Structure 1
Amino acid sequence: MLFALICNDKPGHLQLRMDTRPDHVAYLTGLNDKGVLKIAGPFLDPDGKPNGSMLVVEAENEEAARAIAAGDPYAMAGLFASTDIRPWNWTFNKPEGA
């Protein structure tokens, strides 16, 4: 089952995001290597600076998706003001094998 993880940064925490980014990228790379991560990327503020994240992951259930979200180094560093986890259906432009 697919889940969208919609994460909003705490205001004024860009430096924490940048400092934690290498660990975050390594975490996502590991999820990708396991076939768990489907898509990911940052939300941007009006100045083009990242201020949140959206990931789509494959997980057995919502509890497993929550565990994936909690294991993200950004979440562990306290970057996010909120994280919304929602079941998601990939309807259009799904790559073959995804």
Structure 2
Amino acid sequence: MLFALICKDKPGALQIRLDTRPAHLAFLDELNAGQKLAFAGPFLDAEGKPDGSLVVVEAADKAEAQAIAARDPYAGAGLFDSVEVRAWNWVVNKPSA
């Protein structure tokens, strides 16, 4: 089942994001290698700067998706103000369709 990890950065935390980005990308590469990552990317503010993340993962249940979210280096660095984990159904333009 797919889960969307909807992550909002803390205000003024851009430097934490920039400093932690290499570890975050390595984490996403690890998820991708394990066929757990559907897609990911940052949300952008009005100035075009990242201020959150959308990561869609394959997980058996919400608990597994929450565990994946907790392992993200961004979460460990304290970047996020909030993380919402929601089951998601990919209907249109799904690559496997």
Query: So what's the TM-score if we normalise by structure 2?
Result: 0.98
Alignment root-mean-square deviation, CA: 0.8
Gaps of 5+ in 2: none
Q: Counterparts of 2:33 and 2:94 in 1: how far apart (Å)?
A: 18
1:52 alignment partner in structure 2:
52
Question: What stretches of structure 1 move > 4 A for 4+ residues in a row?
Answer: none
Q: Report the alpha carbon displacement of residue 96 of structure 1 after superposing the two structures with TM.
A: 1.9
1:30 alignment partner in structure 2:
30
Q: Any idea what SS the aligned residue of 1:6 has?
A: strand
Q: Any idea what SS the aligned residue of 1:78 has?
A: coil
Q: Counterparts of 2:66 and 2:96 in 1: how far apart (Å)?
A: 26
Q: Counterparts of 1:23 and 1:65 in 2: how far apart (Å)?
A: 19
2:71 alignment partner in structure 1:
71
Q: Counterparts of 1:28 and 1:11 in 2: how far apart (Å)?
A: 23
Q: Counterparts of 1:32 and 1:47 in 2: how far apart (Å)?
A: 30
Query: So what's the TM-score if we normalise by structure 1?
Result: 0.97
Q: Deviations over 1:37-79 (max 9, x none)?
A: 0010000001000000001100010000000000000000000
